[in-house]
Amino acid sequence: MGAIILRVAGATVLAPPDPVPSIYFGGSSPAALPVAARRADVYLTWGEPPALVAEKIGRVRELAAGLGRTLRFGIRLHTITRDTSAAAWAEAGRFLEALDPAQVAAAQEQLRASESVGQQRMVALHDGALELGVRGLEVSPNLWAGIGLVRGGAGTALVGSHAEVADRIEEYHALGVEEFILSGYPHVEEAYWFAEGVLPLLKQKGVA
């Protein structure tokens, strides 16, 4: 069944939504950051190393403060979390081994042509280096850029034991990140791994 598109003109409502939905906005370009500062409720970044995330948060926070505004901050990441670090990295290795080099090359050609500054930053993390191997694509402790070899947009994953992933989330949280948009491959299975292994640790830390 195809999508149904409805267009209305001159429509009104009796009252605005209550509560009014928050506006989430992402973007890394010089043009995007002022828009986020002026219009967004939550500024979203893709999963970059903590130092780069801190730099962006600081810039957006400064711009928002100049307008008398305060924003919340969020991050978009994938997760591969297991009972042990070795098991998590083995899973990342299986993901990498399943990639066809021709598929990677085609995806990278397309992603490199993107004018999105955020996408350029994602590509720069791995530089298309399939030959580096699974741990060679670890761009920061437990932050893995392998997914970005073939996926546009959010191309990094937190990989490690439940305790390691919880530590990394705590690290981002300490930078000011309050909202975490997480996913995995397959989505349902990774959601269970995270909910059963990581979430209890985050609650102990007072992060969740």
pTM of the model: 0.88
**In a domain? residue 178:** yes
176 in a domain, yes or no?
Answer: yes
Above 70 in pLDDT, residue 129? no
* In-domain check, residue 190: yes
Could you tell me the CATH number of the domain that includes residue 200?
3.20.20.30
Q: What is the DSSP string of 42-95?
A: EEEEE---HHHHHHHHHHHHHHHHHTT---EEEEEEEEEEESSHHHHHHHHHHH
In a domain, 65, yes or no: yes
Tell me whether residue 162 is in a domain: yes
Total domains in the fold of the chain:
1
pLDDT tens profile 165-205: 999 999 999 999 999 999 999 999 999 999 999 999 999 99
Please indicate, yes or no, if residue 2 is contained in any of the structural domains: no
- pLDDT (tens digit per residue) in 38-95: 999 999 999 999 999 999 999 999 999 999 999 999 999 999 999 999 999 999 999 9
Specify if 10 maps to a domain: no
Domain membership of residue 48 as a residue range = 24-205
Cα separation of 100 and 160, whole Å? 24
Please check whether residue 7 lies inside any domain of the structure. no
